[in-house]
Amino acid sequence: MVERFKKGLSSMSASVLAIVAGLFAGFIILLISNPANALKGLQTILIGGWNNGIKGVGQVLYFATPIILTGLSVGFAFKTGMFNIGAAGQLMVGGFVSVYVGVTWTFLPGAWHWIVALFMGALGGMVWGMLVGLFKALLNVHEVITSIMLNYIALYAINYLVKNSHLFDALKNQTVNVAANAVLPKAGLDQIFYVLKGRYHDASSVNSGIFIAIGLAVIVYIILNKTTFGFELKACGFNKHASRYAGINENRAIITSMAIAGALSGVAGATMYLAPPSGMHIHVAEILAAEGFNGIAVALLGMSNPIGIIFSGLFIAHITVGGSYLQSLKYMKEIIEIIIGMIIYFSAFSLLVRDVLARIAKRRKKAEGATSKNEEEC
Amino acid sequence: MSDYIIEMLRITKDFPGIRANDDITLQLRRGEIHALLGENGAGKSTLMSILFGLYQADQGEIRKDGAVVKINDPNDANALGIGMVHQHFKLVHNFTVLENIILGVENTKHGLLQMNEARKKVVALSEQYGLLVDPDAYIQDITVGMQQRVEILKMLYRENDILIFDEPTAVLTPQEIEELMRIMRGLAQEGKSILFITHKLNEIMAVADRCTVLRKGRYIGTVDVKDTTPEALAEMMVGRKINFTIDKAPAKLGEPALAVKGLTVAGHGHKKAVDKVSFEVKKGEIVCIAGIDGNGQSELVYALTGLIPSEGEVLLNGKPVEKLSIRKRNESGLSHIPEDRHKHGLVLDFDLQQNLALKRYFREEMQSHGFIRFDRVRDYARKLIEQYDIRSGQGEDTVVRSMSGGNQQKAIVAREIDFDPEVLIAVQPTRGLDVGAMLYIHEQLIKVRDEGKAVLLISLELDEVFQLADRILVIFEGKIVADLDTKSATPQELGLYMAGSRKEEVHGGKV
């Protein structure tokens, strides 16, 4: 128990160190682009959501929702030894399916509408993720290749489908609103996270999606650490030969693991596009969802641990929201994105940092051994 | 000039929590083959790492030709003429032999490699010592035995006079071992001094002039090999008398537990890896498949256990299993101690209890509704650890990667035997293990047999074959070429079959 606690602590300290390095890198960019406001800028980033009181905190939770889910998606696949770089595509498929259901299936009564839309979004992502697993298991095609290709297939197929369907609002070049029943409930969160502007409640966009994300993180944690299924997945991730030898069906593990990873990304998409007040809109554009790639950073920073991923997702959302307030300090939008990107990806190198630190410590120990011996001889 | 080319005097080295070398003295004469004998963990590797500059001693000194020298890193060692063939070779696989040999000591002119001189020197050395290495072959295409010779050539090319061989025979076939012995004698005759690390007594008797024995980090003594016996050396190494001949009751044969009929496995090209093999293993019997490595043993075992597809019939207690999945074969009573314990036998990053439960976590006793009952897993692991004396730093919580090879193997043996199999397939179960662990595993295999189970043993070591087997099958190029009773078979006969001689030749005048 003590050992496990120590291990957890050391991986957490590596994450914290990485974050500090990331902030430092971001600070350098701040200095370059606008030295006068650099310190103030760093402060703004660090304060994050609190820049705008309790509403800002709500925004952090709102932005954390999809990246916790894609982080879980990437982290879960990691445990089976798969690098799921296709979270973006799975997220977009999930988002599209849930928008389709949200707009079209108006026959569903009351809350059933958003529940089914969310579920179908998960299913869409699951199919997209499972394709990657099938290619890997049956044809031995590397998952990075298939998932990158499937990202683009998802992007252009969705653009095509949106443009050529009743979902399309040609004036705005985006999808129409989903039905009111298909929007995720706010679960009273708007009554907590708001600021008063005169008599007007300026509420945050946070909604029940954050509960779904945290709930799924807990479920993923339980699957990985408590079940025979999770045991098999981890065994395959560590050593697929030994897993096969022990009678574990390695191909099934790869396919199910990718299917679950895809479903998690699909839920991420659903929570984004079903967010109140009227659902986010799918724009016909040639951009892959950034939330998919940020999931990689979240998973790395959280060391692929589902509980760690909740916190790393919250942290990255915190920084991102903080960054959005930089505009008031006369930073350009593009520069802000570079700064935030730097911080996120520098932080994500925490695994690397931990390895390097371990190596340095080992070398130092060895050097100390050598010097003490020299002293004795002198 | 001193009698000794290298002396390591009163060397002591501490690691956190353990004294790996305690006041050890080793003196190497010019032109001799000096064996360094000890069990796993006796301190041989530490001592050699100190000589090679990988560690620094806490106390003691190293002398070359009588003068004290300091060896701070492998470059210093190399400058003093010390070279080492590591147990795991340090070769670049997609480079040629020649490129590997000159790597790090390349001759260049205007920034371009000058290979011709190097090639001449390598060819000359190869001829001088009878190494027969093709300088233009790629490492990935040549046998392990040849790769070892490349390592030897690397030392010779660097004009090293003191050659360290770290357990060089662990990876070789009997024939390659013979060849290596010949090469080592040749090197010694040419004036090279050789340090030979091993725990195999017959090799020491065959090739070494003197032998220094270590036990648990301490120096036990140095003896002239011609004045000693394997038994005496073993006693020095282990610290107690060793009984090499295991008492084995006569086999009480029962029904066939494993029957194989016409088993065929495809190989590379149109040659079959396993070619229509048929045999039986009865209850209460140890059948050994002997043969030189690479004659289809691995494929045969993989086919039996379901790791690779095959044609033909496999019957377990009369029931066909050849169509079943690996899991179902296991559950029908097939146990398997695999050849490669790191690749197949263990999930190195799992802890010991997870590895011990690797084949039963899904059984009723260890799960309920898909949730693993970790308390049961722990209890089970503790039972096996106690029963099979598996030693590790933190008991059942130890990450297996950090355990010693012998204890890793013990964990696999414990798991597979406790599986209570109908048929136990053991592939080179004692490879790389010291005498103590080896004897222990042999005893366990015999116990399984005496409990009326069938054991199929695959071994490359003739000693092991003769000690354990009730019946010996010889495999050559994927076919079973002989079926011998251990009591009447001789090692010479077996060797001829293993080398591919036909029955008539073996029993004709050629023997």
Most confident stretch, A105-109, A126-130, B48-52, B233-237: A126-130
Query: Which of B214, B207, B138 shows the shortest CA–CA distance to B168?
Result: B207
Domain B4-238 has CATH 3.40.50.300: yes
> Under a CB-based contact definition with an 8 Å cutoff, are residues A370 and B55 in contact?
no
Q: Class of the B243-333+421-511 domain?
A: alpha beta
- The closest of A323, A369, A360, A363 to A14, measured between CA atoms, is A360
A371 — pLDDT class (breaks 50, 70, 90): very low
Lay out the sheet containing B311-316: strands in order across. Answer: B272-282, B256-266, B311-316, B319-320
Strand residues in B129-232 grouped as ranges (E): 162-166, 193-198, 210-215, 218-224
Confidence category of residue A212, pLDDT binned at 50, 70, 90: very high
- Is the pLDDT higher at B338 or at B248? B338
Residue B432 has pLDDT above 90, yes or no: no
User: Strands (DSSP E) along B298-422, which ranges?
Assistant: 311-316, 319-320, 334-337, 367-368, 371-372
Confidence (pLDDT) at A378: 37
Distance between CA atoms of residues B262 and B271, nearest Å:
16
**Chain centroid to CA A19:** 16
Q: Is A240 an 8 Å CB contact of chain B?
A: no
Query: Would the CB atoms of B326 and A373 count as touching at under 8 Å?
Result: no
- Interface check B347 vs A, CB under 8 A: yes
In this structure, the number of other CB atoms found within 10 A of the CB of residue B114 comes to 13
Q: CA torsion, points A318, A320, A321, A325, in degrees to nearest 10?
A: 130
Let me know the angle formed at the C-alpha of A290 by A285 and A293, rounded to the nearest 5 degrees: 135
| pLDDT band at residue A6 under the 50/70/90 scheme | low
- Interface residue B372 vs chain A (CB under 8 A): yes
Q: Where are the alpha helices (DSSP H) in A34-111?
A: 38-47, 53-79, 87-104
Q: Specify burial of residue B112 (Cβ count, 10 A radius: 0-12, 13-18, 19+).
A: exposed
Q: What is the pLDDT of residues B9-24, one digit of tens each?
A: 999 998 776 788 999 9
Identify all chain A residues contacting B305, using CB atoms and an 8 Å cutoff: 245
Confidence of residue B219 (pLDDT cuts 50, 70, 90): very high
Looking at the complex, report in whole angstroms how far the Cα of residue A371 sits from the nearest Cα belonging to chain B. 10
Helix (H, G, I), strand (E, B) or coil at B196: strand
pLDDT at A370: 43
Residue B193: the pLDDT is 95
Per-residue pLDDT for B450 more than 90? yes
- Residue type, position A3, single letter: E
Answer whether A208's CB lies under 8 Å from A275's CB. Answer: no
- Judged by CB atoms closer than 8 Å, whether chains meet at A234 and B343 is answered as no
Considering only CB atoms, which chain A residues are within 8 Å of B345? 242, 245
CA distance B230 to chain A (A): 38
Average pLDDT, chain A: 87
Percentage of residues in chain B having pLDDT higher than 70: 95
Which residue, among B326, B336, B419, would best test binding to A if mutated, counting the most A CBs under 10 Å from its CB? B326
Q: How many beta-carbon contacts under 8 Å exist across A and B?
A: 73
Band (pLDDT 50/70/90 cuts) for residue B247 is: confident
Domain segments of chain B as ranges: 4-238, 243-333+421-511, 343-419
B337-341: long-range contacts, CB 8 A cutoff, minimum separation 24? B337/B412, B337/B413, B337/B416, B337/B424, B337/B425, B337/B426, B337/B427, B337/B429, B338/A245, B338/B301, B338/B412, B338/B427, B339/B298, B339/B301, B339/B427, B339/B428, B339/B431, B339/B458, B341/B405, B341/B408, B341/B409, B341/B412
CB pair distance less than 8 Å for B354 and A373:
no
B327 pLDDT higher than 70: yes
Which chain A positions have a beta carbon within 8 Å of B358's beta carbon? Answer: 235, 242, 246
Chain B residues lying within 8 Å of A5, measured CB to CB: none
Band of residue A202 on the pLDDT scale cut at 50, 70, 90: confident
- Look at residue B113 in the predicted model and tell me its pLDDT: 82
Q: Judged by CB atoms within 8 Å, which residues 252-271 of A form the interface with B? A: none
Asked if A248 lies within 8 A of B305 by C-beta distance, the reply is: no
Whether A204 shows a pLDDT value over 70: the answer reads yes
Give B340-378 pLDDT, tens digit per residue: 888 899 999 999 999 999 999 999 999 999 999 999 999
Nearest to B306 by CA among B277, B326, B321: B326
Best residue in A4, A80, A238, A245 to probe B by mutation, most B CBs within 10 Å?
A: A245
All residues of chain B having their beta carbon less than 8 Å from the beta carbon of residue A3 are 394, 397
Mean pLDDT of B417-437: 86
Containing H/E element for B27?
Answer: strand B18-29
A239:B347 CB<8 A:
yes
pLDDT at B116 over 80: yes
CB contact under 8 A, B359 and A246: yes
DSSP summary character for residue B138:
B
- A219 contact B CB<8A: no
| pLDDT value for A376 | 37
- Which residues fall within 8 angstroms of residue A280, CB to CB, at 6 or more apart? A95, A272, A273, A274
The angle formed by the CA atoms of residues B154, B155 and B158, to the nearest 5 degrees, is: 90
Query: What percent of chain A clears pLDDT 70, i.e. is strictly above it?
Result: 90
**For residues B473 and B289, is the Cβ–Cβ distance under 8 A?**
yes
What pLDDT shows up at residue B509? 46
Counting residues of chain B whose pLDDT is more than 90, the rounded percentage is: 54
Residue B419 at interface with chain A, using a CB cutoff of 8 Å: no
Distance from CA of B286 to the nearest CA of A (A): 23
Beta bridge partners of B256: B282
DSSP assignment of A13-41 = HHHHHHHHHHHHHHHHHHHHH-GGGHHHH
Whether A376 contacts chain B with CB within 8 A: yes
Cβ neighbours of residue A76 under 8 Å, at least 6 residues apart?
A84, A220, A224, A257, A260, A261, A264, A304, A306
Range of lowest pLDDT (A162-176, B72-86, B243-257, B462-476): B243-257
Please report the pLDDT score of residue B507 as a whole number: 63
Between B234 and B372, residue with greater pLDDT: B372
> Does B129 score more than 80 pLDDT?
yes
Mean pLDDT of A6-34: 79
Q: How far is A230 from chain B (nearest CA, A)?
A: 9
Cβ <8 Å between A242 and B347 = yes
Selected residue with higher pLDDT from B503 and B147: B147
The C-alpha atoms of residue A253 and residue B291 are separated, in whole angstroms, by 37
Residue with structure tokens 């600021």? A195
Instruction: Pick B58's closest partner by Cβ from A248, A249, A373.
Output: A373
Confidence at A374, pLDDT banded by 50, 70, 90 = very low
B16 CB within 8 Å of a chain A CB: no
Residue numbers of B between 293 and 332 with CB closer than 8 Å to A = 305, 307, 325-331
> Which residues of chain A lie closer than 8 angstroms to B394, CB-CB?
3
Considering only CB atoms, A238 lies closest to which of B350, B359, B361, namely B350
* Burial state string for A240-250 with b = 16 or more CB within 10 A and e = fewer than 16: bbbbbbbbbbb
Q: How many C-beta atoms lie closer than 10 Å to residue B463's C-beta?
A: 14
Residue from B73, B347, B374 to probe the interface with A (highest A Cβ count within 10 Å): B347
Which residues are CB-contacts of B24 (< 8 A; sequence separation ≥ 6)?
B8, B10, B11, B12, B43, B47, B60, B214, B217, B218, B219
Mean per-residue pLDDT, B299-324: 93
Chain B interface includes A375 (CB < 8 A): no
Residues 19-38 of B with CB under 8 A from A: none
Region B59-88: mean pLDDT is 90
Is the pLDDT confidence value at A375 over 60? no
* Residues forming beta bridges with residue B19, ordered by sequence position: B14
Of A227, A238, A369, nearest to B56 by CB-CB distance is: A369
> Contact B325/A246, CB-based, under 8 Å?
no
Residue A369 has pLDDT above 60, yes or no: no
Stated pTM of the model: 0.77
The H or E element spanning position A186 is none
Give the pLDDT band (50/70/90) at residue A4.
Answer: low
Question: Quick one: DSSP state of residue B399?
Answer: B
Mean pLDDT of chain B: 88
- For residues A84 and A262, what is the distance between their CA atoms, to the nearest angstrom? 9
How many angstroms separate the CA of residue A251 from the nearest CA in chain B? Answer: 13
- Provide the pLDDT for residue A2: 57
- Position of tokens 């402060």? A43
Of A241, A246, A373, the CB nearest to B343: A241
Task: Evaluate if residue B131 carries a pLDDT over 50.
Answer: yes
Shortest Cα distance, chain A CAs vs residue B344, angstroms: 4
- Pick the more confident residue, A10 or A258: A258
Q: Nearest residue of A to residue B372 by CA position?
A: A227
Facing B372 at nearest CB: one of A226, A239, A241: A226
Which domains, ranges and CATH numbers included, belong to chain A?
Answer: 52-329 (1.10.3470)
Contacts of B370 in chain A (CB under 8 A): 227-229
Q: Do domains B4-238 and B243-333+421-511 have the same CATH topology?
A: yes
Mean pLDDT of A78-93: 94
Q: Tell me which chain A residue has its CA closest to the CA of residue B331.
A: A247
- Residue B503: the pLDDT is 63
**Residues B283-302, mean pLDDT to the nearest whole number:** 90
